[in-house]
A and B are shown apart, each in its own frame.
Chain A
């Protein structure tokens, strides 16, 4: 159906204009989900009944003038580490079992109040730990651009859903690049806001000092509109900040003439794919053509971002994930006494990558190693932050690739964790320093895979990011992902089964295509 190619803002406009209803849009998305899911596996939980019920309520609200927002009626996919009231939230982990929160993530609540129709919960790397969405207990997700490739991660399900036409936009979370890198692999726009811009309440914590919720969409304007809805102070998150400058869509179309853009030389060193490098340099030229002043400079310390990040993130994760113990919610294994129950529950409930990080994090915090590892990382983080501060004295934005390569093939990455971690080298700096950053598609490689351009701004300068990204996007229109058809879906079944080989795949709650057809 044609509407599936629209941006969320375009869909919203047409719904408000009465050209189609929120219910029809939801039905179209559900039909596409029906076609794609056997192949893509973007979702962990979908309840079509609930989707249509919401769509009908939103449509009534639009007609009665209660929902006047730009995104009213547009179906959205939510990463499964954001709590949704009454709908199970798994973090793609076996350990959460059928955990169904009685509360809602603040970002999700804000979307609902703006008339969003929530399609379901998307697949991800377990607890957002991974760069491929292959560490999920619910099987891997495929990249809609090339089914043998990963969509990136950890917000891979959110990105494949938006690229594959299953959803009009999505929420993801970004701790070390988990919105930007999969957006780059899936030819989408993904934005990580300044730390504190969006409430973390209801986001299941991975690394609390770096986690941020952000939008994933098909256009810069969509991202700006979503951010406008979800940003804002929340008294339930002590790290959320009260600021008034959240009219992000106001800057779209603003002239970027004279904007100073710095390219860290270190971002074009060893490990960067030549085609990616060329595309990003071409994008820099494109921005220069829009009037920006672009130059290379030395950012410094870039090689230290990855080890700093993994030390801090693992330490925080080891503590944040301690609550999953079989006592209060989620999975419980039977055991001989309390500690045996704890150990069995956690050993069976967590996947290998999560366990790896919990072990590392427990170690770097343990007696005798805390100073040498954890505090050293916090000191290095301070120096990295200083390097960014110095750069933003000279530049409005920093420019570079989002990821060193385009999407790798399925099954290629998990064998060598350290190599996988090095793929986060460009995105991690923004998380360590709390900066906003955006990934915008800037071309396809020779294999037809999307390449992402990353722009980073100083804290709270999302408007600069969005203005530049929008100007670039307008100057270089990017193709949409080719739509999957029913035939492609059928062909993918066999391959799908094989990608689910990793560990015990949990049961997905993807229900009743028949029902959907009846509704349709």
Chain B
């Protein structure tokens, strides 16, 4: 490849908003209902039904717009996008084309290549489609309208990104903003955040854009990365062979690592948008915008700075703790209860992260209560339990969210500080392991560690490790002197 190419990427990110009900009807948005159970005449396109807009949808959309430096369209409308597909019960989707709710925003991203501002062309509100399941047995499609009418915002970026790395940074940044606002949980795997990638390539230094393709069905950051690499390669190959890139929508197959054109002669791509006569305009006055701005919670960057300044956490730790809203919330709530930010941070950074990896879960799935972690920290601080026992208890808090105080009582896990009991246990261990005692006296000081471990074990791990250490040393040294005496 003699020529140098530049990749130009823009994104269309669909985000499901965290409302209780759908955008135009009072049906629940909860996941996991039986097929077609969260439905009514409105979200199944029954004749004569009419949409009524959910106020929260507007508020979430404005909040995201403000947090991404957009201009709020103070007089906005809904338009109908007309196309036939079975997941679209009216065969038109209520969306916004002519007057989207937010325009002209930007967010700043950071990558190894440096910082870059990515423009946001617009954000619009729209309704989600139903779910289609292919039934192999009968070779038909089964339609479930539970997701039909779930509110979405679509964030359309400018074509300002040049690499997969920047795309991921943009998506991460956007996810953090939206999550922190509480506007969505942004789970890629569950489809509550979905990205379509518009990509073109051009010769380095060229002032015009190449022909772009749109890629759909990207449901993980890894898939996004692979799809960008794959599509970049495909387009460069075409150009190198002197063949044109066709403007089209392609479906990424992450298993085969290849994209397929989604073309059909029935797909005219002429959506005949027009203002929806069933929905009056939305007027967002300054007072409403200010009220939404005033309710805006602390966003990611502010929190990152504050954790370092207020709690004295290292930048790295603050970065991890704020990388997910759930984790940050847990950190703050626990710290507020126990007043030990560094200890809380340690529990979250080390043990929690280890257990998440072990259980193959994301931080957004953490569900133990800050009260229980705070209590555990308190128990350890007061010396009621030692570190080993605390770790064991934390594993149970992680999975079952138990009350550690009750648990310690019920299972008799309090640290044993009774010197007599420890001394008896150490005597027994030394008696049973004369070789280790001899090794110690023979200069193998490591043998002491073995004896301490055995004594701890004999006491069910509950002994105060400091006391055990001290007594073992005392007795070994005493033992030696006794022999000499």
Contacts and interface: CB of A to CB of B under 8 A. Distances in A.
B48 A204 contact: yes
A319 B80 contact: yes
A105 B50 CA distance: 11
B50 A237 contact: yes
A494 interface: no
A82 B51 CA distance: 17
Contact of B89 (A99, A203, A204, A323): A323
A501 B216 CA distance: 51
Contacts of B372: none
A339 B265 CA distance: 10
Interface in A132-180: none
A101 interface: yes
A168 B47 CA distance: 27
A238 B272 contact: no
Contact of B272 (A204, A327, A342, A370): A370
Contacts of A72: none
A375 to B, nearest CB: 9
Interface string A94-111: 001001011101000000
Interface string B84-108: 1010011110000000000000000
Contacts of A83: 47-48
A210 to B, nearest CB: 8
B188 interface: no
A201 B48 contact: yes
Judged by DSSP, the binding face of A is loop
Interface in A407-439: none
A97 to B, nearest CB: 12
A327 B143 CA distance: 9
B134 to A, nearest CB: 12
A365 B45 contact: no
Interface in B255-293: 264, 266, 270, 272-274, 277-280
Nearest to A362: B272
Interface string A302-341: 0000000000000110110011110111000000001100
A238 B91 contact: no
Contacts of B44: 328
B41 interface: yes
A203 B50 CA distance: 9
A103 B278 contact: no
Contacts of A103: 41, 46, 48-49
Nearest to A201: B50
Q: From DSSP, what is the main secondary structure of chain B's interface residues?
A: loop
A370 B274 contact: yes
A319 B278 CA distance: 12
B30 interface: no
A184 interface: no
Contacts of B86: 325, 327, 338
A323 B50 contact: no
A204 B47 contact: yes
Given A319-B274, A367-B270, A238 B52 contact: yes
Interface residues of B, number: 31
Contact of A322 (B51, B91, B274): B91
A89 interface: yes
B125 to A, nearest CB: 15
Nearest to A127: B47
Contact of A366 (B47, B80, B270, B280): B270
Contacts of A235: 52
Given A203-B48, A365-B272, A370-B274, A323 B90 contact: yes
Given A319-B92, A322-B91, A101 B82 contact: no
B41 A239 contact: no
Contacts of A322: 82, 84, 90-92
Interface in B34-84: 41, 44-53, 80, 82, 84
A201 B49 contact: yes
Interface in A38-76: none
A200 B50 contact: yes
B270 A323 contact: no
Nearest to B271: A367
Contacts of A96: 47
A440 to B, nearest CB: 29
Interface string B228-270: 0000000000000000000000000000000000001010001
Nearest to A240: B50
Interface string A111-136: 00000000000000000000000000
A102 B44 CA distance: 12
B20 to A, nearest CB: 17
Contacts of A208: 277-278
A17 to B, nearest CB: 37
Contacts of A342: 84
Contacts of B277: 207-209, 239, 316
A238 B278 contact: yes
Nearest to B45: A323
A489 B448 CA distance: 116
A316 B90 CA distance: 13
A279 B48 CA distance: 39
Given A236-B52, A365-B274, A319 B82 contact: yes
Contacts of B47: 83, 89, 91, 96, 99, 101, 204-205, 323-324, 329
Contacts of B41: 101-103
Interface in B388-446: none
Contact of A238 (B46, B80, B279): B279
A204 B143 CA distance: 23
A374 B41 CA distance: 29
Contacts of A99: 47
A310 B18 CA distance: 41
Given A208-B278, A319-B82, A101 B48 contact: yes
A351 interface: no
Contacts of A89: 47-48
Nearest to A363: B272
A342 B267 CA distance: 13
A341 to B, nearest CB: 10
A214 interface: no
A452 interface: no
A99 B49 CA distance: 14
A207 B277 CA distance: 9
Contacts of A201: 48-50
A202 interface: yes
B274 A238 contact: no
A10 to B, nearest CB: 32
Contacts of B274: 315-316, 319, 365, 370, 374
A82 B46 CA distance: 12
Contacts of A207: 277
Interface string A472-503: 00000000000000000000000000000000
Contacts of B280: 238-239
17 contacts: A89-B47, A105-B48, A238-B280, A239-B278, A315-B274, A316-B277, A319-B92, A322-B90, A323-B45, A323-B89, A323-B90, A324-B47, A325-B86, A328-B46, A339-B266, A365-B272, A370-B272
Pairs A-B, 7 closest by C-beta atoms: A322-B91, A365-B272, A209-B277, A208-B277, A204-B47, A202-B48, A339-B266
Given A103-B49, A238-B279, A325-B84, 6 more contacts: A89-B48, A101-B46, A208-B278, A236-B52, A328-B45, A370-B274
